[in-house]
Amino acid sequence: MSRSDELFQRAMNVIPGGVNSPVRAFRAVGGTPRFIKSANGAEITDVDGKSYIDYVCSWGPMILGHNHPAIKEAVIRAAENGLSFGAATELEVTMAELVCSVFPSVDMVRMVNSGTEAVMSAVRLARGATGRDKIIKFEGCYHGHCDFMLVNAGSGLMTSGVSGSAGVTEGCARDTLTAPYNDIGTVEKIFEANDGEIAAVIIEPVAANMGVVLPEEGFLDKLRELCDKNGSLLIFDEVITGFRLGIGGAQERFGVMPDITALGKIIGGGMPVGAYGGRRELMELVSPVGGVYQAGTLSGNPVAMAAGIAQISYLKEHPEVYARIDDLAERLFGGLKKIVERSGKHLAVNHIGSLGSLFFTEGSVKDYNDAKRSDTAEYGKYFTHMLDRGVYLAPAQFEAMFVSCAHTEEQVQKTLEAAESFFQK
Ligand code: KE4
């Protein structure tokens, strides 16, 4: 019995499913989740001493790789001054100024502790600003686990084959309307059928929770136009795309400006941080200035701010990081495309920047229904094959692969060789 086996057995006695987030349980791929002991650069090492090339990157945050010296030193320095004060600190001002300096649509920003909190607060702000109740989201997009977002959601819900969650009341879900990703016609119909009632449209500007699905040309622009025409707000959930598709996220890459941006993952440098921001007149509706209440004991925690500031500052001062991770990802996903084609399969490979997915389904994947066609059992076999060869992928088909600037050409080559041996079987 491996150490991971032992720990998993103990964990299942005291933690639901033995994990603190469902997708980590390996239920979609089988086998024992690897309990990770340490990580450095692009590698993670489990409690049995086995190392893996890591394409989960803590689900996105570790864009500079694990244990980056600049981040580690910043955390240690901050911790020496104390862990938490529940009072304003200079680090929060530095972080807020940094975020506002890189996101074109953000004049002001509020720190929270997770992407879920960021989205929950952004939606509350949109409802408070417009006086309207209804929200439009897209099938397969995942915006964290606040009740009203667990409707036709992606990520762990999609992986477990359900579209919603027990415990979410009919009343709560009623105001969440859904449309297929990339289907602007359905969005128009929803607006027409709910004239004057839509507070906001929320979208992952690149969907990464049904696997990676890209917005079709003009889709985001049309969403912007529809929101303007109907007096609704556009919320970009940039928890994954923020600081990843460029320092200014998807809004900078696509040139479409949301009214409110939700952030997470990379902003914390590996520590629990989320944030939401937008133009001044909107953000000044948030308490204590305005009537939209939102609060948090550890929001803006100094140690977490230090980690996030170190990572974002590094990204801002080293723009060459993006060219490097995009180039490595091009090698990886371009290589995967060639491998599956050489094997006679025409599986879908979607990628943009340093984010991508291999779907075990043929044809294009442009929305939730396309992604649902994937053969998740086959993905499970692929996952295990790669894990056995020292490559750690997301333990679920409906997630993304992330490339960090710590990954090397050699590691990408090793990954492609492992994938080739699967498809050549
Ligand atoms: P957190 O509350 O997990 O920090 O963020 C929620 C969230 C919001 N928006 C987007 C676009 C997200 O991808 C997420 C969280 N992503 C998942 C992975 N698909 C986190 C991993 C997990 O749930 O364990």
**Domain positions in the chain:** 3-67+319-423, 69-317
* Ligand 1 atom with the shortest distance to the CA of 116: 2
Q: Which of 322, 405, 323 is nearest to 68 (CA)?
A: 405
With contact defined as beta carbons under 8 Å apart, do 60 and 265 qualify? Answer: yes
Exactly one of 134, 265, 314, 379 is catalytic; which is it? Answer: 265
Find the 1 Cα to ligand 1 centroid distance in Å.
32
Please indicate whether residue 314 is annotated as part of the active site: no
Q: Which residues of the chain have pLDDT under 50?
A: none
Exactly one of 46, 54, 55, 142 is catalytic; which is it? Answer: 142
* Ligand 1 atom with the shortest distance to the CA of 155: 19
Among protein residues, the one whose CA lies closest to atom 5 of ligand 1: 115
| Tokens 């590698």 -> residue | 43
Find the 192 Cα to ligand 1 centroid distance in Å.
31
Among protein residues, the one whose CA lies closest to atom 13 of ligand 1: 240
* Ligand 1 atom with the shortest distance to the CA of 114: 4
With contact defined as beta carbons under 8 Å apart, do 407 and 379 qualify? Answer: no
Residues near ligand 1 with C-beta < 6 Å? Answer: 21, 23, 59, 114-116, 119, 142-144, 155-156, 204, 209, 237, 239-240, 264, 274, 399
Among protein residues, the one whose CA lies closest to atom 22 of ligand 1: 21
Find the 342 Cα to ligand 1 centroid distance in Å.
34
Q: Which string of b and e fits 60-97 if b means at least 16 CB within 10 Å?
A: bbbbbbbebebbeebbeebeeeeeeeeeebebbebbbe
Find the 195 Cα to ligand 1 centroid distance in Å.
31
Q: Which string of b and e fits 267-286 if b means at least 16 CB within 10 Å?
A: bbbbbbbbbbbbeeebbebb
With contact defined as beta carbons under 8 Å apart, do 370 and 18 qualify? Answer: no
Find the 24 Cα to ligand 1 centroid distance in Å.
12
Please indicate whether residue 265 is annotated as part of the active site: yes
Exactly one of 46, 54, 175, 237 is catalytic; which is it? Answer: 237
Find the 91 Cα to ligand 1 centroid distance in Å.
25
CATH class of 69-317: alpha beta
* Ligand 1 atom with the shortest distance to the CA of 274: 4
Please indicate whether residue 425 is annotated as part of the active site: no
Cα–Cα distance between 398 and 373 in angstroms, integer? 11
Predicted pLDDT at 152: 87
**Strands (DSSP E) along 141-273, which ranges?**
176-179, 198-203, 233-237, 260-263
Tokens linked to 21: 């987030």
CATH class of 3-67+319-423: alpha beta
Predicted pLDDT at 160: 84
* Ligand 1 atom with the shortest distance to the CA of 154: 19
Per CATH, 3-67+319-423 and 69-317 having the same topology is answered no
* Ligand 1 atom with the shortest distance to the CA of 144: 6
Cα–Cα distance between 384 and 391 in angstroms, integer? 9
Find the 143 Cα to ligand 1 centroid distance in Å.
7
Beta bridge partners of 356: 351, 401
**Strands (DSSP E) along 180-306, which ranges?**
198-203, 233-237, 260-263, 274-278
From 56, 57, 59, mutation site for ligand 1 pocket: most ligand atoms within 8 A of C-beta = 59
